[in-house]
Amino acid sequence: MSWIHSVLFLFLVFRWCIAGESSSPEVTDDGAPMEISEREALYSTIQGFLGDSWNGSDLYPDPCGWTPIQGVSCDLYDDLWYVTELTLGLVHENSLACAASLEIKPQLFKLKHLKSLSFVKCFTSSLTISKEDWISLGSNLESLEFRSNPGLIGELPETFGSLTNLKSLVVLENGFNGKLPTSLCNLSSLKRFVLAGNLFTGTIPDCFNGFKDLLILDLSRNSFSGTLPSTIGEMVSLLKLDLSNNQLEGKLPQGISFLKNLTLLDVRNNRISGGFSQNVEKIRSLTDLVLSGNPMDIDDMMGIKWENMGSLVVLDLSKMGLRGDIPYGLTKLKRLRFLGLNDNELTGTVPSKELETLPCLGALYIHGNNLTGELRFSTKFYEKMGTRFKASKNPNLCQYDIVSESRSYVPPLGLKPCSKMKKTEGGLVILQTLRNLKKEESSSSMSLMVTRRVLSNGLTWDLLLELSLIVLLI
C-alpha cells in the first residue's frame, strides 16, 4: 500500500503546482521577470508618443533589465519588474523624441505602480487632455509634470484632484487656460505646486489651509486676477512664493506675516497696492524680495524698517512710484547683493559712502529718479560694479571728478561730471541776471548788482558777464 500513498502524494503535488502557475501573473518567456501585461502597456504607451513605427519588443525586449529604455525606471514588486517612472520627451540627447502627431493611449493608466510621470517638449500640436482615466493612477502617482508643451490647451482636468498622493505637480510653460478646478484643493500632500507660464485666468482658489507641507508655490506668468487668498498664510512650511506677472490686486493678506520660513516673495508686475509695512517686515527669513511694478501706497512702503530685514540678498523696489529720500535702513543690509530702486520718484542725495560699505553689493540701479547732488563712489566701487551700476536719468545728479589711470575704470554712463554741471548752472545764473537787468533798465541811470559765481575757470565767466552787460547797456 505504500506505493499507492506515494503515487497519491505525487498527484497532489502536481495538482498544486498546476494551480499555482495558473493563479500567478503571466511573465515574459525570455527569462526577464516582468509581467507581460505590464510590458505591453509600456510599449503601447511609448508607441502612442513616438508613432506606430516604433517597435519596443524588438528594440527593448527587456526594458527593465539588460535593454533599458531612456526615461523608464522600474522597481520590483513580488519579484516582478514594474514601471515606476516614465519620462517622455527631449530631456537628454538620447531621450525618445515625441512625434508631431501623438496620442495618450489608455494603456498608460494601466501602469499600476507608476509613481512619476513627466511630459517634456512633447505636445506641439493642439491637444486637450481627457479627464477620464487619471483616477486609476491616484493610489501611487507622486509626481506629475508637463514642461514646455505649447500644444496642450484647454483647462486642467478636474480628475487631477483625485491624485491625492501627489507630492509634486509641475505644469510649466504650456498652453493650458481657463480657471483652475477647485478639485486641486484636494492635493494637500503637495510639496511643490508650479503652474507658471500658462494662460490660466480667474481667481486663485482660497483653499490653502490644508497645504501644511507645501514648500514651493509658483503661479507666475498667468492672468490670475482678484485678491490674494486669505488662507495663503496657513502654508506654514512654505519657502518660495512666486505670484509675479499676473493681474492680482488689493493688499497682501495679513496672514502672510506668519510664513516664518519664507525665503522668496516675488509679486512683481501686479496691481497690489499695500499691506507691506505691516506684513513683509515681520518675515525675517526673506532673502529675495521682489515688489517691482506694483502701484504701492507710498506711506506704506516708506514706513518699512529695512534694517530689521537683515537676511535680504535681493531687493527690487523699481517702478513703484516711490517718493522721498532713499531709505537709510537699506544701508544696513550687510548681505544685500542686488538693489533696484530705478524708475521711481525718489529725491534727495545718494548715501554713496554708506552703500559702498555694503560688503556683498554687486548690482545697484538708481536711474530714472529725481535724485540730486554728487555721487561720491570710489573708482574701486565702479570697477567692481561695471555695467551693474546705473544712475542716469537723474537731471540734477552728477559724478564728482575722478582721476584714474586704471583701464578697468569706466565712468557711469549718463552722468555729467560735477564740474560741467556747475558750469551749466553758472551759465543759467548769468542768463537770468541779464534778463533781470533788461527789465530794470531805465533811460537815466542804472545800478547794477551782479553776484559773481565762482567756478573752476571763474575769470572767464566774469569776463563774459562784463562783456554781456556792456552789450546790453549799449
Spatial contact of 234 and 255, defined as CB atoms under 8 Å apart: yes
C-alpha 371/C-alpha 34 separation (Å) is: 72
Q: How far is CA 361 from the centre of its chain?
A: 21
Quote the DSSP letter at residue 204: P
Confidence (pLDDT) at 304: 87
Could you tell me the CA-to-CA distances from 398 to 404, 414, 423 in Å, in that order? Answer: 17, 9, 12
Confidence (pLDDT) at 97: 85
pLDDT digits (tens, 9 = 90+) for 69-106: 999 999 999 999 999 999 999 887 777 889 888 999 99
Confidence (pLDDT) at 278: 77
pLDDT digits (tens, 9 = 90+) for 429-459: 444 444 454 444 444 343 333 333 333 344 3
Q: What is the grid cell recorded at 49?
A: 508618443
Burial of 23: CB neighbours in 10 Å, binned 0-12, 13-18, 19+: exposed
Residues forming a β-bridge with 72: 86
Residue spans in the chain of domains classed CATH 3.80.10.10: 97-107+129-421
Closest CA to 368 of 418, 333, 415: 415
Find the range with the poorest average confidence among 122-126, 299-303, 342-346.
Answer: 299-303
Share of the chain above pLDDT 90, in %: 62
Q: Is the per-residue pLDDT at 16 higher than 80? A: no
C-alpha 127/C-alpha 47 separation (Å) is: 17
What CATH number is given for 97-107+129-421 in this structure?
3.80.10.10
Spatial contact of 152 and 127, defined as CB atoms under 8 Å apart: yes
3-state SS class at 180: coil
Share of the chain above pLDDT 70, in %: 80
Q: What is the grid cell recorded at 293?
A: 511694478
